[in-house]
Amino acid sequence: MGFSITLLVIASALITNGGIRNPAPRMILAALLVLILSSMPVVAYWFADQAERDAAAAVRTACCDETAAAIVLLGKGTTQPHIPNRVAIQLTDTGNRLPYAAVLYRQKVAPMVIVTAGPRPELEGYVGEAKDIETLLANNMGVPRSSIVLDDNGSNIRTSAEEVRKILDSRGAPRKVILVTSAIQMRRASLAFANMGIQVIPRATDFYTFQPTAGGKSRLRLDAGDFLPSAEALVTTTRVFDEYFGSFYYYLRGWQAPRA
């Protein structure tokens, strides 16, 4: 969406006195093609499939009883705050991380849950997102408050990794965690935590697609519905490319450990 709009804005600047100068026509065509293709489910889920392969492989090879010092829940963007026109704290479409982290805790794979999520800069006078997540975990998902540790500074993956390392070191705990986040984000998050010297056991959720070896039925039906543009597909494509750009930025900054 952002790339298409940028092309259209540049092209509009080349329209003067009722005429349109080159390369504006080609830019308009390119913008429309990008928008149409990125809105097609068959394209969106293909890109999501590529982004989720590492996370899916980790799920298939993970040992069910592997333990760690803590479960780290990357909670940024998983909740909507409890404000006057809402009767409760609401989960977003990435909110599956919360019940999944609670399930892992009840399986006794770690003695505590570290919730990392930054403040809500768009709101004044409301508690940070980490506190809202703590409320949901403790009141609705069976995780004792005494087992929840909050990091209110986790505005991005890098700062979350830094704060988690400080928490582990302050408690004399091993630098080994079970990391819970969305599948498309898992690769960047795992490498960022490894770069801080933290061993990661990935536990991904919020998958968009089935992997070919996962044993499930693919979401792609290869019929007309997969080729009709939709807003949902555009959102999926945008998120995948945001993650690609984020990974590239982390690589340039040296915030990712080399892949094994």
Burial 48-86 (b: 16+ CB within 10 A, else e): bbebbbbbbebbeeeeeeeebbbbbbbbbebbbbeeeee
Nearest to 141 by CA among 179, 183, 105, 178: 105
Q: What is the pLDDT of residue 59?
A: 63
Q: What is the pLDDT of residue 34?
A: 93
**Segments of the chain with pLDDT less than 70:** 58-64, 124-126, 210-224, 259-260
pTM of this prediction?
0.86
Which tens digits make up the pLDDT trace of 197-256?
999 999 999 998 865 444 555 555 555 677 889 999 999 999 999 999 999 999 999 999
List Cα–Cα distances, 89 to 31, 82, 136, in angstroms.
38, 5, 8
Q: What is the pLDDT of residue 154?
A: 86
In the DSSP assignment, the letter for residue 78 is S
173 token code pair: 């705990």
Q: What is the pLDDT of residue 260?
A: 57
Bond into 23 cis (ω within 30): yes
Q: What whole-number distance in Å separates Cα of residue 196 and Cα of residue 138?
A: 29
Q: What whole-number distance in Å separates Cα of residue 240 and Cα of residue 243?
A: 5
Domains, the chain, with CATH or none = 39-253 (3.40.50.620)
